[in-house]
Amino acid sequence: MNTPTDPLQPQLLHADEYLLVFNKPSGLLSVPGIGPDKQDCLRVRAQQDWPDALTVHRLDMSTSGLILMARGEAMHKTMSLAFEKRLVHKRYVAVVMGEPRPEPDAQGWSRIDLPMRVDYQNRPYSIIDHDKGKPSLTHWQTIGPGPIAGTTRLLLEPFTGRTHQLRVHLAAIGHPIVGDHLYAPPDGHAMAPRLLLHARELCFTHPVTGNRLSLSHPAPF
């Protein structure tokens, strides 16, 4: 990987012969994009040191936080199935515009239950679509005030994993994520130099050792 002074340097949080977990900085792609200027990404950087590292799930380029990679095809298949069966639990931290009004359940979580789909006529956007959208569920809790006046810090737990789910869901209830160039209004986008969304926690059972792994890294905002 590149030198420690590189602002896009991923931080290794866990490594064994089967799995890797990195803290990805905002601004780094998870996988290569289209075009020669979009080849620098977490997967390419990880494979410099672990040639067998394969992408299991992704984060948006502007989202920071924890990403799990599998070592080898067999482990990739195993962990992809674990994600599909929702055996890998993820929690995010976001700073949103305004102050959402919680309607908590018995466990203290509020819900955003709005079906979504990719907006094929207007990529890369996703949209709420009550007729053709796929079921999409996000749980959220208020942590406290955000770092900017008029904002709130939330803990988010996506039950499904649709494209831009957290960003679209929060915008749909009138509280877009600060710094979001796609779904926030211009004043919300201008509030921060980056999207204030961070994948803070990953929790799952190691498929080989059987140990419960709980990894976390605090949000840099």
pLDDT tens-digit map of 65-111? 999 999 999 999 999 999 999 999 999 999 999 999 999 999 999 99
- CATH architecture under which domain 11-85 falls: 2-Layer Sandwich (3.30)
Q: How is the chain split into domains, by residue range? A: 11-85, 91-197
% of the chain residues with pLDDT over 90: 95
What topology does CATH give the domain 91-197? Pseudouridine synthase (3.30.2350)
% of the chain residues with pLDDT over 70: 98
The pLDDT value recorded for residue 177 is 98
Which residues are within 8 A (CB) of 153 and not within 5 positions of it... i.e. 6 or more apart? 93, 94, 95, 142, 143, 144, 145, 146, 147
11-85 and 91-197 agree in CATH topology: yes
Among 1-15, 86-100, 140-154, where is mean pLDDT lowest? 1-15
The pLDDT value recorded for residue 4 is 58
Mean pLDDT of 117-145: 97
Just list the catalytic residues: 60
User: What is the tens place of the pLDDT at every residue in 46-68?
Assistant: 999 999 999 999 999 999 999 99
- CB of 139 closer than 8 Å to CB of 157: yes
Answer yes or no: is pLDDT of 3 > 60.
Answer: no
Which SS3 state, helix, strand or coil, does residue 37 take?
helix
